[in-house]
């Protein structure tokens, strides 16, 4: 016979203390991606870093201007996104090159030759940054064609431009060195 008494409630089965919610574990995926990137080639990490630095540099003072008139001087600056096309477009090309390389390192299959694409994007970024050296947003004071007007106006490039230039040079050089890899 049975020990159970009629009318007694059955004993509930023990439940696990904590159940993970259904769905992807983004924390674990992020950890795996970080480990994969850390294990990457140092030159590849340098290329990725160059793309990020170029973007961050585009947000810093990129173009500068100072005006002296009758003993009073004033100055200002703008980032690459404030005016000219070549500054911000160069930064985007460098970031795109870094993004393509990150995708490749993380195992994404891309329909393009990755090393050549990264080199082309960084080469385009370098070219745009060099053009930004000569082309000022809104034109230069010398474009007015009036003699003596620009005597107290000095246009230049800020720290953001020089960092972006160094980053795109480094990214292009490292991409060139890695072009035959894989």
50 occurs within a structural domain: yes
Range with the poorest average pLDDT among 94-98, 107-111, 142-146, 148-152: 142-146
Label residues 112-135 b or e (16+ Cβ within 10 Å = b).
eebbebbbbbbbbbbebbeebeee
Give per-residue pLDDT as tens, 18-48.
Answer: 555 566 777 777 777 778 777 778 899 999 9
Q: Is the pLDDT of residue 124 over 60?
A: yes
Give per-residue pLDDT as tens, 41-75.
Answer: 889 999 999 999 999 999 999 888 888 877 778 88
Q: Are 55 and 79 in contact (CB under 8 A)?
A: no
2 occurs within a structural domain: no
Confidence (pLDDT) at 76: 82
- pTM score: 0.74
Q: Average pLDDT of 112-118?
A: 94
Confidence (pLDDT) at 2: 53
Gap between the terminal Cα atoms of the chain = 73
Q: What is the dihedral of CA 38, 40, 46, 47, to 10 degrees?
A: -130
Query: What is the CA angle 114-42-61, rounded to 5?
Result: 85
Q: Containing domain of residue 163, as a range?
A: 41-69+76-178
5 occurs within a structural domain: no
The count of structural domains within the chain is: 1
Q: Are 93 and 128 in contact (CB under 8 A)?
A: yes
29 occurs within a structural domain: no
Q: Are 97 and 127 in contact (CB under 8 A)?
A: no
């Amino acid at each position: 016979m049975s020990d159970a008494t009629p009318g007694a409630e059955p004993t509930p089965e023990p439940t696990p203390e904590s159940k993970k919610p259904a769905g992807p574990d983004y924390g674990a995926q992020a950890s795996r991606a970080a480990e994969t990137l850390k294990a990457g080639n140092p030159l590849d990490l340098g290329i990725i870093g160059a793309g990020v630095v170029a973007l961050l540099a585009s947000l810093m003072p990129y173009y500068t201007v100072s005006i002296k008139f009758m003993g009073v001087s004033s100055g200002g600056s703008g980032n690459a996104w404030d005016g000219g096309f070549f500054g911000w477009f160069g930064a985007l090309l460098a970031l795109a090159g870094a993004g393509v390389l990150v995708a490749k390192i993380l195992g994404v299959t891309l329909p393009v030759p990755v090393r050549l694409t990264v080199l082309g994007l960084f080469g385009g970024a370098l070219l745009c940054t060099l053009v930004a050296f000569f082309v000022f947003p809104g034109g230069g004071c010398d474009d007015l064609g009036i003699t003596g007007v620009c005597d107290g106006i000095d246009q230049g490039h800020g720290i953001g431009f020089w960092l972006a230039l160094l980053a795109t040079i480094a990214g292009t050089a490292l991409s060139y060195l890695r072009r035959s890899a894989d």
